[in-house]
């Protein structure tokens, strides 16, 4: 089985269990307040860590390459309240352009 | 059992309520199909992922981690951490699902951020709205993913597109709403610092997973 299939199978199964946690497994129980506040922080934490690894990661060193101007341009687009899809296209286009010129 | 004559909403009301929100999952599904196919996932794999995981950010995360050479474990953990919020979300609607365990298991898969938000609009959570909206989003999400894989297969050199930067832009845009409160900003800043420090010294994937420790800030008051 390829890596992609393993990831798809495990993530799919875990997500199905997560979504049914309340309705099927735990009932009306509530998460303890401290667990809840940690779970609430997981999304911003993982998303920003992904931003950093996608922008600077690779070959076990911090790389500053064509991705940086792309993501910077996207950040400006997001700041200007552009739709998410526009920010993605801006990032891809700027990075692609810089790569083509380099 | 008395015949119920309540004026409660029906599933089709949920479908209808979700229509104005449909353009967003359509565009995301398309871009997920394009990016995942271009990142080397097969078309079938990509569509199966949308059909089983049915949670955008986590799917993008898993694909992007593998795309930059991260391990299977790192890709899985990144997606699982992102979806952990569904445990909390599903607890808030635990009591609205009727029927036996299997039916509740199936219908609870309709829970996504948007269907959950719509179902609580009247001040209490309504099962028909949640399931109806989730059903529409599901069809739209899986369908547009499939369409995206067709488009994505056209590109011969996906990295020329700046695929990696497009992923980063998506995650940044998704993070912004969480950064409006102080605790969210602090945790995000700590995560950025951990990731930057570990990238030069740890194998791909490790910095990302280690950054999840930043959520421990939630323990302090």
Nearest-angstrom CA–CA distance, B35 and B60: 8
Residue B97's nearest CA partner among B82, B113, B114, B116 is: B116
pLDDT in tens, A25-42: 887 777 888 888 888 898
Instruction: Tell me if A85 is assigned to some domain.
Output: yes
- B99: which residues sit within 8 A by CB, 6+ positions away? B107
Please say whether the beta carbons of B35 and B167 come within 8 A.
Answer: yes
- For chain A, helix, strand, coil in percent to 5 are 75, 0, 25
Q: Name residues 154-193 of chain B within 8 A of A (Cβ).
A: 159-176, 178-179, 183-184, 187-192
On whether any CB of chain B is under 8 Å from the CB of A76, the answer is no
A39 found inside a domain:
no
Determine, yes or no, domain membership for A15. no
Q: How far apart are CA B171 and CA A83, in angstroms?
A: 13
Mark yes or no for CB contact B202/A60 under 8 Å: yes
Give the number of domains in chain A. Answer: 1
Provide the residue-wise pLDDT of chain A in tens; the chain has 102 residues: 699 999 999 999 999 999 999 999 887 777 888 888 888 898 899 899 999 999 998 777 899 999 999 999 999 999 999 998 899 999 999 999 999 998
Of B86, B195, B218, the CB nearest to A49: B195
Whether A75 is in a domain gets the answer yes
A31 Cβ neighbours under 8 A, 6+ residues apart? A39, B87, B88, B91
Flag whether the ipTM exceeds 0.85: yes
Residue A55: inside a domain: no
Per-residue pLDDT of chain B (221 residues; tens, 9 = 90+): 445 445 688 999 999 999 988 988 898 899 899 989 888 899 999 999 999 999 989 999 999 999 888 899 999 999 999 999 999 899 989 989 999 999 999 999 999 999 998 998 888 899 999 999 999 999 999 999 999 999 877 766 666 778 889 889 989 998 998 899 999 999 999 999 999 999 999 887 889 889 999 989 988 86
Helix, coil or strand: residue A64: coil
A42 in any annotated domain: no
- Is A72 a member of any domain? yes
CA distance B138 to B114: 11
Nearest Cα residue in chain A from B157: A96
d(CA B139, CA A67): 33
Instruction: Collapse the DSSP code of B55 into the 3-class scheme (helix H, G, I; strand E, B; otherwise coil) and give the result.
Output: coil
Q: Is the Cβ–Cβ distance between B55 and B112 less than 8 Å?
A: yes
Residue A73's domain comprises 64-102
With respect to residue A78, please indicate whether it lies within any of the assigned structural domains.
Answer: yes
Scanning B121-213, the segments in alpha helix (DSSP H) are 127-152, 163-175, 182-198, 206-211
Q: Token pair for residue A56?
A: 């600077």
pLDDT score recorded for residue A102: 83
A88 to chain B: closest CA residue: B166
For position B1, what pLDDT does the model report? 47
Whole-number pLDDT of residue A14:
97
Residues of chain B contacting residue A38, judged by C-beta atoms under 8 Å apart? 215-216, 218-219
Q: Which pTM was predicted?
A: 0.85
Residue A23 forms contact with B (CB below 8 Å)? yes
């Amino acid at each position: 089985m390829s890596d992609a299939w393993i990831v798809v199978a495990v993530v799919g199964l875990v997500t199905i269990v997560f979504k049914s946690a309340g309705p099927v497994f735990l009932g009306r129980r509530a998460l303890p307040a401290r667990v809840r506040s940690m779970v609430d922080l997981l999304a911003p934490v993982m998303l920003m860590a992904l931003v950093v690894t996608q922008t600077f990661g690779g070959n076990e060193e911090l790389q500053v390459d064509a991705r940086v101007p792309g993501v910077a341009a996207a950040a400006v687009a997001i700041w200007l309240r552009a739709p998410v899809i526009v920010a993605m296209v801006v990032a891809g286009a700027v990075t692609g352009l810089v790569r083509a010129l380099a | 059992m008395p015949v119920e004559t309540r004026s409660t909403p029906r599933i089709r009301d949920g479908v209808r309520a979700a229509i104005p929100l449909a353009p967003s999952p359509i565009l995301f599904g398309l871009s997920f199909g394009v990016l995942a196919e271009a990142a080397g996932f097969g078309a079938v794999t990509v569509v199966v992922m949308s059909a089983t995981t049915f949670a955008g950010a986590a799917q993008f995360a898993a694909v992007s981690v593998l795309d930059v050479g991260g391990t299977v474990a790192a890709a899985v953990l990144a997606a699982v951490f992102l979806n952990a919020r569904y445990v909390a979300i599903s607890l808030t609607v635990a009591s609205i699902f009727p029927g036996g365990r299997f039916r509740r298991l199936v219908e609870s898969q309709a829970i996504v951020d948007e269907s959950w938000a719509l179902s609580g609009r009247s001040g209490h959570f309504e099962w028909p709205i949640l399931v109806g909206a989730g059903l529409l989003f599901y069809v739209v999400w899986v369908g547009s993913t499939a369409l995206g894989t067709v488009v994505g297969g056209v590109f011969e050199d996906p990295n020329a597109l700046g695929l990696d930067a497009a992923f980063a832009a998506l995650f940044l845009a998704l993070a912004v709403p969480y950064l409006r409160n102080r605790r969210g900003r602090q945790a995000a800043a700590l995560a950025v610092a951990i990731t930057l420090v570990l990238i030069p010294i740890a194998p791909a994937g490790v910095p990302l997973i280690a950054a999840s420790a930043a959520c421990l800030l939630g323990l302090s008051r």
